[in-house]
Structure 1
Amino acid sequence: MSNAASSHTPFTRHGRVAVITWSNPPVNGISFALRQHVTAGLDAALADADIDAIVLTGDGRMFSGGADIREFNTPRSTAEPTTPQLIMRIENCAKPVVAAIHGSALGGGLELALGCHWRVALSDVSVALPEVKLGLLPGGGGTQRLPRLIGVPKALDWIVTGRTIPAPDAREAGVLDALFDTDLIGNAVAFASKLDNTTGLRATGKLPVRVPADAADLFGKAREHARKTARGMDAPLQCIACVEESTRSTLEEGLRFERSRFMELVNGTQSKAIRHLFFAEREAAKPPRDAQDATLRDVRRVGVIGAGTMGTGIAMAFANAGYPVTLVEVADANLQKGLSTIQRNYDATVNKGRLAAEVAQARIDRIHGTTDMRQLADMDLVIEAAFEDIAVKHGLFRQLDQIVRQGAILATNTSRLDINDIAAVTTRPQDVVGLHFFSPANVMKLLEIVRGSATAADVLATVLHVAKKIGKVPAVVGVCDGFVGNRMVSPYTREAHFLLEEGATPQQVDQALERFGLAMGPLRMGDMAGLDISWAARKRLAPTRPRHIRYCHIADRLCESGRLGQKTGAGFYRYEAGSRAPIPDPKVEEIINACAAESGITRRAITDEEIIERTMYALVNEAARILEDGVAQRGSDIDVIYVNGYSFPAVRGGPLFHADTVGLPRVLERIREFHRVHGELWTPAPLLERLVAEGRPISTYEVPAAMRTA
């Protein structure tokens, strides 16, 4: 019998086994077209008397990465056959169906495999139901079939965490029936050939659910844990509800329950926000158009200048990814302190069971400390993470220009200073770029890549590639004071301070924004980062500040009195020794009252709604100006920056997606009202007014290429 498929049969014939292969690059997402293709293949194979069994498999690099999320919230996502209908059709087939898995079976891909009677795989595959990470739940029967197959406790864990399971563990759990090292299709066909249409028709959905004796306690603890670890997220709780439903319903009832909860989530704001970020992060990681075809520079050895908090974190980020790192400090005492910090950080990770001791030691061994700048001569990439002072930066880059080999990339970790000014002191400004890491740099995902006016296209493409290798979420931005993130922080913080002056307390401001979803309010955040950092920036910019513009002195007065935040035990709050718990302090209230009196402000009651609107819409208005200036390439990049660098709640999609969710006309209306009441600082951004007039969203706005500095 020929192995070739005829033009009339949507499967390949292997003896008496039909192999149905689908293709939807890059991850074989389960699209409407794919569902139609599989259905046609099943129809043909079931109608063919010469076919005894069916093998389902994916083309390319994986079995299936799950639902094609590009079709969510479109008519194609609910067009028949839907994914649940297709899976039920497979499960009810009168001929044995075997899933042949390579690469990965994720989400709907694994659910489709669970609908098959048997599952075989290559020994290096992984499986998962990661829908919760997109604010969803498995909507193709996963919450009902997996508990029947592997037991309720394990299924609950897999579904609520979305964890990835390697093949041996999946085989042990009972998800996979056989593993092969090579020749997946040949082995799958041989496996299927031995099945008959009685013993071979093993339907997962018909298995009984083994209800644990402690089920009530199990689900109660799962909910408690989800509320703590996934604060404000609906999806984990809905996942738990669906698995719990599997313990008290028939399969059909459970599937209806699951589908209703899935549709509720997929049509809800939270999942739309997370999916917006999913696509936004991938778009932000792409090189700008002029750098897309650039040849990457070879980066094998990395130098880091500065062994403080930022420098040690950067060194660890590269060592974690396998790069050898040379860490340079001026004084040996500072160097040893930094190396000790690195050792403590790795020790803490090992003690928590998150890293094997030998892996941690290998990473430590990759970091070489020195006080000799000349040891940077042969580096491929050097990142300066010294004190935030332009004179210090100038001095370092003049040295690097003399020491480091030609063709190496010279980067600064400055959070606000002018990259062009720094590059200008070198003879090779084309090799200079900003790499703005966020503290702690070994943990925080965001990397703002700051493109100077002379930064070469291949430098930009290379650092984007390196960012991905070290596990960062990159976004290319242009040069201005504070770039994107910190430039937006300024009006956000400004409004928080104004709200204090007008009548709010620090704890009210922080708590309102924390209830909104931020991990930490702006005043607590300032105390943690150190109030002297922003104080230094304000003093630097003071000569450029118009005298007629409103200015709040509260933060300056705190710093002048020695209250610099947690490191001095007092800032907007006071702190007990060894504790980071903020304690309201009457002395701060005295400073706030004095500043309000000096400014002629009569304090009043402030609502939480006003706190959220003024801080959030200050972000949005400034973001619109950033887009007008071409400092960001697209609105979604700004959302990526704020979620990954400033702990903006992912379930709100970033400040611009949030604005679109509220409704951009409503946001503009409030900004105009704030402009009327509070003056010039609230002048609406022209781009915002234009987008509202045109009925366009801001989170998907793209800056025309000719206007970009990023």
Structure 2
Amino acid sequence: MSDAHYETQGNTALIRLDNPPVNGLGHAVRRGIVNGIRRAEQDDSVRAVVIAGANGSFSGGADISEFGTPKMLAEPTLPTVINIIETSRKPVIAAIDGNCMGGGLELALGCHFRISTRGASVALPEVKLGLLPGAGGTQRLPRVVGVEHALNLIVSGTTVPATMFEGSALFDAYSDGELEADAVALAGQIVAEGRPLKRVRDLRVSHPKAEPFFLYARNGIRQMAGAYPAPLKCLEAVRAAVDQPFDEGLQTERRLFAELMQTPESAALRHAFFAERKTSKIPDVPADTPVREIRHVGVIGAGTMGSGIAINFLNAGIPVTILDMKQESLDRGVAHIRSVYEGRVKKGKMKQDEAEQKLALLHTATDYDAYRDVDLVIEAVFEDMGVKQQVFETLDATCKPGAILASNTSTLDLNRIAACTGRPQDVVGMHFFSPANVMKLLEVVRGDATAKDVLATVMKIARTIRKTAVVSGVCDGFIGNRMVLPYQREALIMLEEGASPEQIDRAIEDFGFVMGPLRMADLAGGDIGWAIRKRQYAEHPEMKRLVIADRLCEMGRFGQKTGAGFYRYEQGRRDALHDPEVDRVIDDCRRELGITPRRISDREIVERCVYALVNEGARILDEGIAQRASDIDMVYLTGYGFPVYRGGPMHYADQVGLMNVERAMEQFRANPHVQPGFWEPAPLLAGLAAEGKTFN
């Protein structure tokens, strides 16, 4: 059971926080600290108290398992704990090792003295959840490290080494040996010398040029913060530390914290925080499922995707053999990989010897015999079923028993690919997003026969290469690409109806997307979407033809790669420039379709595009393709540029209200130009709306 354990060492009491994995300050721990302080106060043989963390870490702050539960607000709250420590008649020393973050740092600041190992890290990361430190952090930190350092740390949420503040009032001593022993020794020294208790709240805080400094800082923070309200509230709280007496500043901090808790931006960021942690939980795959050892990885295809995939494993120190049938393709792939590492060295993000160590793990091959001993092989070849089936037949005949055979397919039926092998249980989808060495998302596609230990292994290796892995079932496009098709389809239909490419992309980008749907199509390559559409037209004759997009592709306008798509692109630049030729194509297509263009509002553009994601997402949930709504949100937050401060499409729909979403769909359904049947609300959406419930 998580708690704060009490023991004595001579005339010093030791309270050890023990709540794995990061000693979160849950209710039992908070109560244990208070009980320990009171016990020490009542014991005349105890002269001082040391608070330390178990397992090499002080505290990572709040216990996230208690978020949204009554325990989170149950007394003693963290401010109460800090008050009891601060008013203790006996000196309380924080012994800091490992992570000291958020509420953990606020707890340490409430102690009278602090000793740290030189390898410890400190942070106040609440801004990343759309909040600010709510237990005195904005008032105490400026008093020990200065206003400017404190503001930078609080507004950025950055983790920094404890040694960064050597010489400041944040730490009274550093430990180069056994931390607990050194902390007990420091406690004895404090008692022997009769040192007065140092309360951080009693320290004075000022800035020689407070008015111009805060004005300058406000302008910079406003520009950096964009749609996020928390950074400016952080500045307001730190300003209160300078302008107001401590207790008034504390009240200002708590008021601002409460205001931020109610913002949709904070709700979205907190949703994303928990959603990311849920993605690794697969209901029928226990956490203790044995995993296969991955010591050597093969990647088939040395193009942009294949070389990007390889970099992930090289970064993690895992040897990679990249295979391509053409030596010149291999040479280009290796040159690309080398250029990535050279770029990191040039920017100071990596040392030259480290880059060479990574590159030394890379091997090349033009023959499948090189894969006889690999533990995992990922194919990244052309998105064609016949090509992929041929690759897997060869892998089945070549790779050792127990090797995991993974496909990077973005849309194709994984079960048909697996059926070409004699070991479908070893086949899984690992859909990386381009550029594969940068994008966080990894869609892990679970085939009908994929073994549980294969799934567990891939989820573990995803963490190793620092990806956010989301499990998907098998369907056309899986989660992300299945949803993006109706999203882009609505944009293309609105082109037919009267909107321009610039208006559509601007409206979606103003909503917060990194890139509008038509700019995104140009970046991905129009030929890719065209190939998918042609396949789907053949499979679904009733499907609406997207005439404008098809016409542009027939003209060879495939986006940035050809210098022309929905926009034109100049050599060596990625700027999407207006092209009158596109206007002519749009006008011609409207005439052929018998459409008189109408004015379309930005609101309609946003609602039709975003609610298209929501409705298809609801169908995916209905069909069991996604495990949970928050998984869909993570796909779009980490792979498709959905604005993080809106929490993902399903969370956003919850915030709007599903009844309102359904009402808007009724209006879209009456439009004669849309895909027949699409705007009929998914059964799950309709059912939740009727019951007043939400996806998440």
- The normalised TM-score by structure 2 is 0.94
User: 1:590 aligned to 2:584?
Assistant: yes
Among 672, 683, 686, the alignment partner of 1:689 is: 686
1:215–1:408 distance in 2 versus 1, CA, 3 Å: farther
Of the three residues 588, 594, 604, the one matched with 1:600 is 594
Identity of aligned residues (%): 51
The corresponding residue for 2:402 is 407
1:429/1:455 contact within 8 Å kept: yes
CA contact (8 A) 1:127 1:170 kept: no
Q: What code does the residue aligned with 1:63 have?
A: F
Cα drift, residue 185 of structure 1: 2.5
Query: Is the CA contact 1:502–1:602 (under 8 Å) kept in the aligned structure 2?
Result: yes
Output the CA distance in 1 between the equivalents of 2:282 and 2:464.
15
Structure 1 residue 395 corresponds to structure 2 residue 387 = no
The whole-number CA distance in structure 1 between the counterparts of 2:194 and 2:500 is 72
Q: Which runs of 5+ in 2 are unaligned?
A: none
Distance 2:614 2:481 in 1: 13
Within 1, Cα distance between the matches of 2:411 and 2:297? 23
Q: Could you tell me how far 1:191 is from its partner in structure 2? A: 1.0
Pick from 198, 201, 204 the counterpart of residue 205 of structure 1: 201
Q: Does the C-alpha gap of structure 1 residues 355 and 241 become closer, same or farther in structure 2, counting only changes over 3 Å?
A: farther
Using a 3 Å threshold, how does the CA distance of structure 1 residues 322 and 223 change in structure 2: closer, same or farther?
Answer: farther
Partner of 2:622: 628
Aligned length, in residue pairs: 689
Residue aligning to 2:178: 183
Matching residue of 2:547: 553
Give 1:218 deviation, angstroms.
Answer: 6.5
Q: Is the contact made by 2:61 and 2:100 (CA closer than 8 Å) also made in structure 1? A: yes
- Report if the CA contact (8 A) 2:5-2:17 is conserved: no
* Residues 1:267 and 2:267 aligned together: no
String of CA shifts for 1:367-392, please: whole Å, max 9, x gaps.
Answer: 11222321111111111011111111
User: What SS does the corresponding residue of 1:638 show, helix, strand or coil?
Assistant: helix
1:110 aligns to 2:105 (yes or no): yes
In structure 2, the partner of 1:707 is: none
Secondary structure of the corresponding residue to residue 307 of structure 1: coil
Query: Which whole-Å CA distance do the structure 1 matches of 2:461 and 2:165 have between them?
Result: 33
Pair 1:162–1:153, CA change in 2 (3 A):
same
CA-CA distance at 1:188 after TM superposition: 1.5
Report the secondary structure of 1:202's partner residue: coil
Alignment match, 2:312: 317
**Secondary structure in structure 1 of the residue aligned to 2:16:** strand
1:565 corresponding residue in structure 2: 559
* Deviation, structure 1 residue 575: 1.6
Following the alignment from structure 1 to structure 2, what is the Cα–Cα distance between the partners of residues 140 and 90? Answer: 13
Q: Distance in 2 between matches of 1:149 and 1:155?
A: 9
What's the CA shift for 1:221?
A: 4.8
CA distance in 1, matches of 2:309, 2:244: 52
Q: Deviations over 1:125-162 (max 9, x none)?
A: 22211112222111111122112211222222222222
Q: Please state whether the residue corresponding to 2:659 is helix, strand or coil.
A: helix
CA distance in 1, matches of 2:219, 2:49: 40
For the residue of structure 2 that corresponds to 1:258, the secondary structure is helix
After TM superposition, the structure 1 stretch with the greater mean CA deviation from structure 2, 398-407 or 528-537, is: 398-407
Partner of 2:516: 521
- Bigger mean CA offset, 322-331 vs 66-75: 66-75
Q: 1:498 offset after TM fit, Å?
A: 1.1
- With 81-90 and 384-393 compared, the bigger mean Cα shift is at 81-90
Contact 2:537 2:545 (8 Å CA) reproduced: no
CA 1:598–1:332 in 2, change beyond 3 Å: closer, same or farther?
A: same
> What is the rounded CA distance, in whole Å, between the counterparts of 1:36 and 1:103 in structure 2?
23
- 1:268-291 deviation per Cα after TM superposition (whole angstroms, max 9, x unaligned): 222221221222211111344245
Aligned to 1:342: 337
CA distance in 2, matches of 1:564, 1:650: 29
Are 1:612 and 2:610 counterparts?
A: no
Deviations 1:501-550 (A, max 9, x none): 11111111111111111111111111111111111111111112233x53
**1:75 shift after superposition:** 4.7
Q: 2:223 aligns with which of 224, 227, 230?
A: 227
Residue identity opposite 2:620 in structure 1: I
Task: Structure 1 unaligned segments of length 5 or more: list them.
Answer: 1-8, 700-710
Map residues 293-692 of structure 1 onto 2, 5 A cutoff.
Answer: 293-547=288-542, 549-677=543-671, 678=674, 679-692=676-689
Distance in 1 (CA, whole Å) between partners of 2:125 and 2:217 is 21
Deviation per residue, 1:304-336 (Å, 9 max, x gap):
111111001000010001101111111111111
CA RMSD of aligned residues (A): 2.1
- Cα distance, 1:186–1:264 mapped onto 2, change above 3 Å: same
The residue matched to 1:537 in structure 2 has which SS?
helix
Letter in 1 for 2:645: V
CA distance in 1, matches of 2:415, 2:649: 29
Contact 1:313 1:441 in 2 (8 A): yes
| Structure 1 residue 222, shift from structure 2 partner | 6.3
State the shift of 1:605 in Å.
1.1
Q: Answer whether contact 1:152 1:212 (CA < 8 A) is retained.
A: no
| Partner AA of 1:582 in structure 2 | A
- SS of 1:187's equivalent in the other structure is helix
In the alignment, the residues of structure 2 paired with residue 463 and residue 212 of structure 1 have an alpha-carbon distance, to the nearest angstrom, of 55
Deviation at 1:354, TM superposition (A): 2.0
Q: Does 1:156 align with 2:116?
A: no
Q: Deviations over 1:58-87 (max 9, x none)?
A: 344532111234444555444444322332
AA paired with 1:166?
P
Moved more, 159-168 or 422-431: 159-168
Q: Which amino acid aligns with 2:666?
A: R
CA change 1:440–1:169 in 2 (3 A) is same
How much does 1:174 deviate?
4.6
Q: Which amino acid counterpart does residue 207 of structure 1 have in structure 2?
A: L
Q: Take 1:381 and 1:226, find their aligned partners in 2: how far apart are those partners?
A: 47
Q: 1:694 to 1:214 in 2, by over 3 A?
A: closer
1:293 and 1:181 mapped to 2: Cα distance?
Answer: 37
- Give the drift of 1:415: 0.5
* 1:118 partner letter: F
Q: Which residue of 2 aligns with 1:121?
A: 116
Counterpart of 2:632 in structure 1: which amino acid? I
Asked whether the equivalents of residues 310 and 439 of structure 1 are also in contact (C-alpha less than 8 Å), the reply is yes
Q: Is the 8 A contact 1:45 1:51 kept in 2?
A: yes
Q: Please give the per-residue CA displacement for 1:545-591, whole angstroms capped at 9, x wherever unaligned.
A: 233x5332111111111211111111111122221111122221222
Structure-2 residue corresponding to 1:50: 45
8 Å CA contact retained: 2:426, 2:454: yes
What TM-score comes out, normalization by structure 1 length? Answer: 0.93
Distance 1:93 1:253 in 2: 22
Question: Which amino acid is 1:352 matched to?
Answer: K
Q: 1:212 to 1:423 in 2, by over 3 A?
A: farther
Residue 175 of structure 1 aligns to a residue whose secondary structure is: coil
Q: Is the 8 A contact 1:512 1:612 kept in 2?
A: yes
CA 1:74–1:394 in 2, change beyond 3 Å: closer, same or farther? Answer: closer
Q: Secondary structure in 1 aligned to 2:537?
A: helix
Alignment partners' CA distance in 2, 1:461 and 1:215: 55
Q: Residue 609 of structure 1 aligns to which amino acid in structure 2? A: R
SS in 2 for 1:574: coil
1:508 aligned partner, one-letter code: Q
1: distance between equivalents of 2:79 and 2:657?
A: 34
Greater displacement, 182-191 / 442-451? 182-191
> Is the contact made by 1:497 and 1:552 (CA closer than 8 Å) also made in structure 2?
yes
Q: Secondary structure at the match of 1:684?
A: coil
In structure 2, what is the equivalent of residue 6 of structure 1? Answer: none
Distance 1:42 1:214, change over 3 A: closer
Q: Quick check: 1:102–1:121 contact (8 Å CA) kept in 2?
A: yes
Quote the Cα distance in structure 2 between the aligned partners of 1:560 and 1:221. Answer: 52
Q: Residues 75, 425 of structure 1: CA spacing in aligned structure 2 closer, same or farther, 3 A cutoff?
A: closer
Is 1:11–1:45's contact at 8 Å kept on the other side of the alignment? no
